[in-house]
Amino acid sequence: MKKFTLKPRPGDNLHLVQPQHFTINYKQQLNPAQYEAVSSLDGPHLIIAGAGTGKTRTIVFRVAYLVEMGIKPDNVLLLTFTRKAAQQMLRKAAIILDNRCENVAGGTFHSFANNILRKYSNVIGYERNYTILDQTDAEDVVNLLRTRLRYDAKEKRFPKKETLFDLYSRSLNTITPMKDVLAQDYPHYVELESEIANVHKAYMIYKKEHGLMDYDDLLVNLMELLRKDESVRTALSLRYKYIMVDEYQDTNKIQSEIVKLLAFKHQNVMVVGDDAQSIYAFRGSTIRNILEFPEEFPGCKVVKLEENFRSTQPILNLANEILKRGAPVK
């Protein structure tokens, strides 16, 4: 009888370790929904996790699971909204498994963007030794340009530096025309649209001429880099083969686009979030990112963590009733 040999397909993970050889008994340590989220490997995954359902525990165990499966730690990327959160998750993963987990690439969107731009910023016209402006410094630059253009001496009250910077930031992070942000959030300044746009143009030119980036620029420029240069996009997508994003409901349009661009070669993205809350609306975050994730990533697997470890059932019932009566999604 003729023997047939199955040849591996490109991308097959032949290096993976079988679960029976794991150090950690994941089924014993996790509830069924958590285990499903942790052990799901390839493809896009949306984990809906309310407060108290073990979201952090799930991420920690998935980091360990990926490492135990034989995935190289530097092929795993964990994006969070605070550096402390990333450090704590990776430290906990190292405690339950071993120190390999601390070699996983983890941090905030902004720190990740800065690390990548330090290597590739020349592609978008910046020197690698650019300077990062914090919000206070950025507002001071805006004020300097506002004064140079003599808008501070206008008879009609002109927006202060804090208002101008907030306006520019909202426009960038939501990818919304400035005139629309003005009409929605600052209608009393609509008649000054032209002057406000002039200050913004001067601000953008000043930053480029002086090798400066503010925090918003880090994200915008990373997105531009990934869109512009296919070789860089491919290299990063092949490096970060498994991407996890915590608090996905707090991402803005730019951050969700960055995730999509990074995953374009493999679609191995797991986002975790609560579809009932968002605390960074002032930064342009939108709950729509989590609601529309299955549309952005066809074939997405949705796992709901519903067992609550913090609150009693009466409290949960009351909270759910309040949410049902909440404001419409923006």
pLDDT tens track for 244-289: 999 999 999 999 999 999 999 999 999 999 977 654 444 555 688 9
Query: How confident is the model at residue 284, as a pLDDT?
Result: 52
Beta-carbon contacts of residue 185 (< 8 Å; ≥ 6 apart): 167, 170
Q: Rounded distance, CA 302 to CA 292, Å?
A: 12
Q: Rounded distance, CA 318 to CA 75, Å?
A: 42
What pTM did the predictor assign? 0.85
Check if the beta carbon of residue 167 is closer than 8 Å to that of residue 196: yes
pLDDT tens track for 225-246: 999 999 999 999 999 999 999 9
Range with the poorest average pLDDT among 22-26, 34-38, 149-153, 275-279:
275-279
Q: Rounded distance, CA 287 to CA 249, Å?
A: 5
pLDDT tens track for 127-150: 999 999 999 999 999 999 999 999
Residue 202: band (very low, low, confident or very high) from pLDDT cuts 50, 70, 90: very high
With residue 239 as reference, give the H or E element that holds it.
Answer: helix 230-239
Q: What is the DSSP string of 249-267?
A: GG-BHHHHHHHHHHTTTT-
Instruction: Characterize the bridge pairing of strands 212-214 and 131-133.
Output: parallel
Residue (of 93, 85, 95) closest to 67 by Cα position: 93
Beta-carbon contacts of residue 2 (< 8 Å; ≥ 6 apart): none
Residue 308: band (very low, low, confident or very high) from pLDDT cuts 50, 70, 90: confident
Q: Rounded distance, CA 49 to CA 278, Å?
A: 13
The answer on pLDDT for 171 being more than 50 is yes
**Which tokens hold the place of 161?**
């530096």
Q: Which residues pair with 301 in a beta bridge?
A: 45
Helices 109-120 & 253-262 angle (0-180, nearest 10)? 60
> Cβ atoms within 10 A of the Cβ of 118, count?
12
Residue 14: band (very low, low, confident or very high) from pLDDT cuts 50, 70, 90: very low
* Most confident stretch, 14-18, 51-55, 210-214: 210-214
**Which tokens hold the place of 214?**
């503010």
